[in-house]
Amino acid sequence: MGPLSYEFETAGRTRTIWDPALKVGKLYVSLAQGAGELLGLPTGLTPNERGGCDVDMATFQTFTQGLYDRYCSTRHLVLLGLIKGLLISSIVMLENGGGTIVRTPEREAGLLEDHDSFRRAMWVEN
C-alpha cells in the first residue's frame, strides 16, 4: 500500500506545516504551481522523495503574499472564487510555519470568513 497522506514540511524538515490526504496534497501543489506560473512567482514547494513536499518558507511567503495581493486587486467574481480556497490554505500553511502576510482587510471582500474552519481542518501537531 502506498502513502495515504502528502506531508508539507519546512525545507529543513524541522516542522510539518500540513499533512493532508494524498490527493488533497497533490491537488494543492498542482493548483499552487499553476497560480505561481500565472503570477510569475515561484511557490517554494518542492516535491520530495518521501511522497510529500518541502516548503521554502521565505519563497512560499512571497508566493502567498502575491496571491493575496492579486485576490485583493480584483472584483472579478470567478477569479475571486478560483483563488479563495488556494489562498486560505496557503495562509494557514504559512501561519503553521510561523510566517505571515501583510493584509489589507478593507480590500479582502470577506476572504478570511472561512479562515477558522480551514485552520481547524488543517491542524497539525508539532
- pLDDT tens for residues 61-71? 999 999 999 99
CA–CA distance from 77 to each of 9, 24, 70, 81, 89 (Å)? 33, 24, 13, 6, 19
SS3 36: helix
Structure confidence by residue, pLDDT tens digits, 3-51: 789 999 998 888 999 999 999 999 999 999 999 999 999 999 999 998 9
Please provide the average confidence, as pLDDT, over all residues in the chain: 92
Range of the domain at 59: 8-121
94's grid cell = 504559512
**E strand or H helix at 10:** strand 8-10
State the Cα–Cα distance between residues 81 and 72, nearest whole angstrom: 12
In this predicted model, what pLDDT tens digit does every residue of 47-101 receive, in sequence order?
Answer: 999 899 999 999 999 999 999 999 999 989 999 999 999 999 999 999 999 999 9
pTM of the model: 0.93
Domain-located, residue 55: yes
Q: How many domains does the chain have?
A: 1
- Does residue 17 sit within a domain? yes
Residue 96 domain flag: yes
State the pairing for strand pair 16-18/8-10. antiparallel
Residue 2 belongs to some domain of the structure: no
